[in-house]
Amino acid sequence: MADGPCGDERKAVKVGVVVCECGGEIKRSVDLAALEKGIAADPVVAGVFRINYPCSAKGLAAVGEAISKRGLSRMVIAGCSERLFGRLFREALSGFGIDPSFVGFANIRDGMAPGGAGGRKAGTAKALNLVRMAAASMAEALRVEVLEAGIKPLCLVLGGGVAGMAAAGAVATRGVKTVLVEKEKEPGGLLRSLNAVFPSYRRADEFIGAMLDEIAGDLVEMVTGAEVESVTGHVGNYEVTLTGGRKIEAGAIVVATGASVLSPDGLFGYGDNDIVVTQMEFEHMLEGDKQPGGKIVMIQCVGSRNPERPYCSRICCTASIKNTILLKERYPSAEVTILSRGFAEYAGDLDRARDMGVKIIRYTPERPPVVGGNSVEVFDTISGMETTIPCDLVVLAAPIVPSESTRALAAKLRLPTDEYGFLIEPQPKLRPGEFVPRGIYVAGSAHWPCTITEAVVQGYSAGSRAFDLINAGKVSKSAFVAGMEEDLCRGCSRCCEVCMHGAIEMVEAEDGMKRALHMPIQCTGCGVCVSVCPSGALSLKYATWRQVGSAIEAIV
């Protein structure tokens, strides 16, 4: 990639500057005549025009006239913020034959010095510097082309839990072929180990059955007992190899590989003390014919909301309350005490459980309950007293933790994970569930502990967005991205490690050396790779080394 325009493109470089008056706003802190003079003296600048409100229809016409009269090929708008008017000017000026990549901005209106003689002098100097920098940068700018990639009309859904099934259903009902890959022999995920589920109290296997009905049909192909072996390619065109050797070409990928439940070994005697079980095991006991216990103590937040795992696992309150209700419905004489650190707002049927006579005691992590052979001792923070509760069963609510399998998949797909190992999208608040611009979507507890309802909704959402992408038929975008000069690459792979958008892959070159392969269609243009590249092979196409360098040199 040439650093800076060359050949005819270089000869055609004629930078014009429009100085906006903004209805007298700018002259309060800038001496416009002096500014114009200063800009005209800059050898980079071919023409400077002062226009009141160039953003208006009249002003734009004046800009257009100036462009054609002077034969300008690149423009700098010195006025207000690019954020406000960047798009307007880029669109309007392309009507006058100026490529959007050749429109630059200098904000000489916001945050300028207040009026007064001294202030205006300094303000003018500042404005001049800003314009000189923008002009110098525009003179070196490269034409930014439009990138396009086709999209394979197939959606790959990884994980056959409720989230994955919902996603597959969302894609298939809209008529796009979907392959659902499940690691285990059967789909269903965690629900296969549950008894009945809140809020419907439907049996979990019934729920799985209903989800399976939703994806019945030709459009969803279920592959069980398989996992992802390797992935190559980019948005619109992934080649995924499954264990067993099958290759799938997919346009979009939904990751719904779920999470695990912590095994609370060593906590509250779990593993040594026979009367201590987990909520998961308790779900099974509830299915049996025998009453699991007469006096039951449940302990919440076991191994979560502590320094090692400070997060709330979000489903344990719901699960414990649900199991209590199921138990009390069947065995009304059973006594249940829940030791909690405070219930989550979405804790489910708390009131119903209370009405059924469940006792709730609040404990603090500073004085945790102590489990004995047939009783639990706890410091009740409300009464301020130590209480001993006789019991024959202790049920621990262990949290949802990231699964090894999801973590391994994240490494293969090069998806970012958070400090615990859950998948995290680059813009959790703005584009939840989406790995922009990768055509990869995440749903369910692979992302964060969630309820079934949430997992299903996230699955639908991920599926419909994957459909939108595939349905568009192609991805295209202006290449405000990084560029790569392969010859300069030494194959150190630092760029590949820091790129969170999977836009760089290490591939073997002809000489047997590993080289970075940059995939612009997936690049966000953030420039992180540029800052780590030791050999200058990578640069930003819209802000090249030369552009930034000459802008800095232009400061007077």
Ligand X SMILES: Cc1cc2nc3c(=O)[nH]c(=O)nc-3n(C[C@H](O)[C@H](O)[C@H](O)COP(=O)(O)OP(=O)(O)OC[C@H]3O[C@@H](n4cnc5c(N)ncnc54)[C@H](O)[C@@H]3O)c2cc1C
Contact with ligand X (CB under 6 A): which of 248, 452, 516, 529? 452
Choose among 470, 416, 414: nearest CA to 439. 470
CB of 450 to another protein, least distance (A): 11
Pure H helices in 339-390: 350-355
Q: Is 413 in the site for ligand X (CB under 6 A)?
A: no
Q: Is 114 in the site for another protein (CB under 8 A)?
A: yes
Q: Is 254 in the site for ligand X (CB under 6 A)?
A: no
| Amino acid identity at 189 | G
In eight-state DSSP terms, residue 112 is: P
Residue 486: partners with Cβ closer than 8 Å, 6 or more residues away: 515, 537
Beta strands in 201-340 (DSSP E): 202-203, 220-224, 228-234, 237-242, 247-250, 252-255, 259-261, 276-278, 295-299, 335-340
CB of 186 to ligand X, least distance (A): 8
CB of 309 to another protein, least distance (A): 9
Beta strands in 33-132 (DSSP E): 45-51, 74-79, 103-107
Q: Is 405 in the site for ligand X (CB under 6 A)?
A: yes
Contact with another protein (CB under 8 A): which of 24, 430, 510, 511? 430
Q: Is 450 in the site for ligand X (CB under 6 A)?
A: yes
Q: Specify the residue for token string 């400061």.
A: 555
Of 360 and 500, the one with the shorter C-beta distance to another protein is 500
525 three-state secondary structure: coil
Q: Kindly indicate which of the ranges 45-53, 384-392, 413-421, 514-522 contains the residues binding another protein, using the contact rule CB under 8 A.
A: 413-421
Q: Kindly indicate which of the ranges 262-270, 365-373, 507-515, 540-548 contains the residues binding another protein, using the contact rule CB under 8 A.
A: 540-548
Report the distance separating Cα 274 and Cα 39, nearest Å.
84
Q: Which does 261 bind (CB under 5 to 8 A by kind): another protein, ligand X, none?
A: ligand X
Of 47 and 444, the one with the shorter C-beta distance to ligand X is 444
Residue 190: partners with Cβ closer than 8 Å, 6 or more residues away: 161, 258, 259, 261, 445
Q: Which does 194 bind (CB under 5 to 8 A by kind): another protein, ligand X, none?
A: ligand X
Contact with another protein (CB under 8 A): which of 22, 122, 226, 509? 122
Mark residues 432-471: x for contact with another protein by CB under 8 A, - for none.
----------------x-----------------------
CB of 493 to ligand X, least distance (A): 25
Q: Is 83 in the site for another protein (CB under 8 A)?
A: yes
Choose among 193, 381, 372: nearest CA to 284. 193
Of 112 and 336, the one with the shorter C-beta distance to another protein is 112
CB of 134 to another protein, least distance (A): 10
Q: Is 190 in the site for ligand X (CB under 6 A)?
A: yes
Of 26 and 298, the one with the shorter C-beta distance to ligand X is 298
| Measured CA angle at 522 (ends 6, 428), to 5 deg | 130
| Amino acid identity at 215 | I
Residue 116: partners with Cβ closer than 8 Å, 6 or more residues away: none
Pure H helices in 356-430: 404-413
Q: Is 197 in the site for ligand X (CB under 6 A)?
A: yes
Tokens of 480: 């405000």
* 141-160: contacts with ligand X (CB under 6 A): 158-160
CA atoms within 13 A on the CB side of 107: 11
Residues in the chain: 556
Tokens of 217: 């049909």
* 1-20: contacts with ligand X (CB under 6 A): none
Question: Cα–Cα distances in Å, from 228 out to 181, 436, 439?
Answer: 8, 21, 17
Binding site for another protein (CB under 8 A): 29, 81-83, 107, 109-114, 118-119, 121-123, 125-126, 129-130, 133, 310-311, 416, 418-419, 426-430, 448, 480, 498, 500-501, 524-528, 530-532, 540, 543, 548-549, 551-553, 555
Binding site for ligand X (CB under 6 A): 158-164, 181-184, 189-191, 194, 197-198, 227-228, 256-259, 261, 279-280, 283, 315, 318-319, 322, 405-406, 409, 444-445, 450-453, 455
